Amino acid sequence: MSFSIEEAEIAPGTVGILFDETPKLTTADVKPFVWAILLYRGAVAMHEVVASVTQVCAYDDLITGWSEEIEDDRNRLEWLVGEVLGDMTAAGLLHYNQEKDIWTLVAGAQLQNLPTIIKAVAGTDGSLPMHLRAEL
């Protein structure tokens, strides 16, 4: 089933027969995008994740003022990416460089993050970033 341009403009969230509407994002939806960039480069900036997820997310996730509880101008997607990066930083997986505004994947003292990183590598059929391979 394909849509004409007019039909697609009427229902921009429509992606085909199985889905009438793109579901709202959760942090679980954002994490694979963060991991993909981290495993490729070893570091990630928030705007890189936002740009990646924007291609597949619902229009509602890109609207600012989505919550009365959030007082800044971030949209829901930016807020979720911030949550994921914050959680990974709090867990010790990432180090934030405020000067460069970038999060770097770290193995941790005595390589305590290695099991989590290896799970991400195995789950994506990827490879360890070069800077972590150099630490081993």
Per-residue pLDDT band at 126 (split at 50, 70, 90): confident
Q: What pTM, to 2 d.p., does this model score?
A: 0.78
Task: Please work out, in degrees rounded to the nearest 5, the angle formed at the alpha carbon of residue 98 by the alpha carbons of 97 and 102.
Answer: 50
pLDDT at 9: 56
Per-residue pLDDT band at 20 (split at 50, 70, 90): low
Dihedral sign from CA coordinates of 57, 59, 65, 66: negative
Q: What is the pLDDT of residues 27-80, one digit of tens each?
A: 999 999 999 999 999 999 999 999 999 988 888 888 876 666 766 778 889 999
Architecture of domain 26-135: Orthogonal Bundle (1.10)
User: Half-sphere exposure of residue 45, counting CA atoms within 13 Å on the CB side?
Assistant: 7
Domain ranges of the chain: 26-135
Closest CA to 85 of 31, 130, 17: 31
Closest CA to 131 of 33, 31, 39: 39
Q: Who's near 15: CB < 8 A, 6+ residues apart?
A: 22
